[in-house]
Every structure is written in C-alpha cells, then in structure tokens.
Chain A
Amino acid sequence: MDIISQLQEQVNSIAALTFNTFGTLQRDATPVKLSPNYPDPPPAPVPPPDDATKFEDQPKLMSAALVKAAKQFDALVAALPLSDGGEEAQLKRIEELQAENDAVGQELQRQLEAAGLLLCSILITFSYFFSSIILTLLF
C-alpha cells in the first residue's frame, strides 16, 4: 500500500484505539464508593477462566497501544519521500521528461524504419540466392 494510504489507515487506527480505550474503561471500571458509610460490596465471583487480562492491566495496555500507534505515525511521516521544490519543480521535470521521451521515441522510430529496410534487403537477397540456386540446378 502506498505511504499516504498507510498514513490515512494509521490515523483511522489511532481514532479507533482512542474510542475503544475510553469506551472500555468507562464500561468496565469498578464503581466508585459514594460514602464511607455504605457497606463494602460482596466479594466478586471467580472470573471465568477465558478472561485473560484483569481490569487493572487494561489502562496500561491500551495506553501503550495508543502511544505505539502514534509513534508509528511519526515513523511513517519521517518516511514520506517529499523531495521538495514544490509543484513548479515537479511540473518543470515533467516537461523535461516529456521532451526527452519524444526525442527518444523519434530515434526509436528511425531505428525501426531502418530495421524494416534491412529486413526487405535481406528478403530480396534471399530470393536472389534461391532463384540462382534453382537456375543452376535446372541448367
């Protein structure tokens, strides 16, 4: 994928990580105790064995993923091949290349025509050889 599309994908993934982070933390956070007079909640049941990551690790993991995505974005920006001179320099280069392309194209056309002529002369020579051989064989 070209680098600009990669940059766009990276921006979208940073956005996705952001709202997933906030959404997960808001949804799964433990409730806040409103007053010291309220009794403590009963101890939570044993979590199911497929819940591999505990809630305490989530903020760290998610923020690490966000920072990693931002660093990757910076690395991609550094890799942008923006050789500048801007638009005018590029347009000038395109004109030069078009002129060179036309010249080389005309040279190629000349070579092709010369090769065509050579092919004709070879065919004429071949028919001359062939007819002389036939004549010597007949007489």
Chain B
Amino acid sequence: MATATYPPPPPYYRLYKDYLQDPKSAPAPPPPVVGTYVCFGSTYTTDDILPSLEEQGVRQLYPKGSNIDFKKELRSLNRDLLLHILELADVLVSRPSQYARRVEDISLIFKNLHHLLNSLRPHQARATLIHILELQIQRRKQAVEDIKRRREEAQKLLKESLGAFEAQ
C-alpha cells in the first residue's frame, strides 16, 4: 500500500525569519473570516443560525409565526406520527407495494419534530444565561454581606485592643 508524504508547511513561514528581532517586519495574521467560506470544497457559514425547513427543502407541518406554542405543536406532531405508523401497518397488510409514500410521510414528520426541538435551543440558551446571572448576583450579595460582617468584627476588635493598650 503506497503512503503519501505529509504536505509541506505553508510557504509563508519564510516571511517570519526576523520576527524575534523586529516583530513589525513580518505580516500581521489575517483577520477572522466573515460570512461564508469554502473549506475542502464545501461552503460553510460563520453565521450560526438554524436554517429553516424551507431552506433544506422540507415541508413545514406546523404553523409559521413568531410565537409558536411548542408544547401544542409537539403533541400534535406526536399524534400524527402514531396515526401514520398505523396507516403504514394497514398499507403493508392490504397494499404492500404502496409503502413508499407512507414512509416518506413518516420521515417528514420526524424531520419536523427534530426541527422544532432544535429551534427550542436558543430559548434554552437564554434561560441558562438568566439562571447563571441570578446565581452570580446571589453569590455577590452573599460576599458583600460576609465582608461587611467581618469588617465590623475587625473594627470592633481593633477598638478593643487599642483601648486595652491605652489602658496599660
């Protein structure tokens, strides 16, 4: 089995020959990529939003809109899924050659279910952030109380010790 050698390092390493003596003689690193970029032949994007179902060529079964009642839609998709599974079982018994459309419907429902669940993730991220901020505020308030108490104790001790020393 022939093995290929490793690819050589990128040729611009020669530009950094005098970097230790003069850091400005070498070019600065390139700025971070914005927008879309091509890597090993495929295009990727730096914008991390969940692509909508239409962009992936899948029909959306739940109603569009900014305020979706997630629980209701998830439950109705679950019921639809069970009905389609029963329909597939019936079709396999009576007309077995027509399974393909039912299987497609079932896979469409699964894709919609997963897309709904994925679109819940930003909500979860914001809720996690709120929870972390609340915890941090509580810890800081606790620290402020502790420091106040210790300062008062220390000041009391200092006064007592000064008084005892003066009395001597």
Interface residues of A (CB under 8 A from B): 2, 4, 7-8, 11, 14-15, 18, 22, 26, 66-67, 70, 73-74, 77-78, 80-82, 84, 86-87, 90-91, 93-94, 97-98, 100-101, 104-105, 107-108, 111-112, 114-115, 118, 121-122, 125, 129, 132
Residues of B within 8 A of A14 (CB): 81
Secondary structure at the B interface, as helix, strand, loop or mixed, is helix
Q: Are A125 and B71 in contact (CB under 8 A)?
A: no
Given A7-B117, A8-B114, decide whether A97 and B70 contact each other with a Cβ distance below 8 A. no
Interface residues of B (CB under 8 A from A): 66-67, 70-71, 74-75, 78, 81-82, 85, 88-89, 92, 106, 110, 113-114, 117, 120-124, 126-127, 129-130, 133-134, 136-137, 140-141, 143-144, 147-148, 150-151, 154-155, 158, 161-162, 165
Q: Are B78 and A90 in contact (CB under 8 A)?
A: no
Q: How many A-B residue pairs have CB under 8 A?
A: 102
**How long is the Cα–Cα vector from A98 to B134 in the complex, in angstroms?**
9
Secondary structure at the A interface, as helix, strand, loop or mixed, is helix
Residues of B within 8 A of A111 (CB): 144, 147-148, 151
A-B contact pairs, 11 of them (CB 8 A): A4-B117, A4-B121, A7-B74, A80-B120, A82-B71, A90-B126, A93-B130, A94-B126, A101-B136, A104-B137, A118-B151
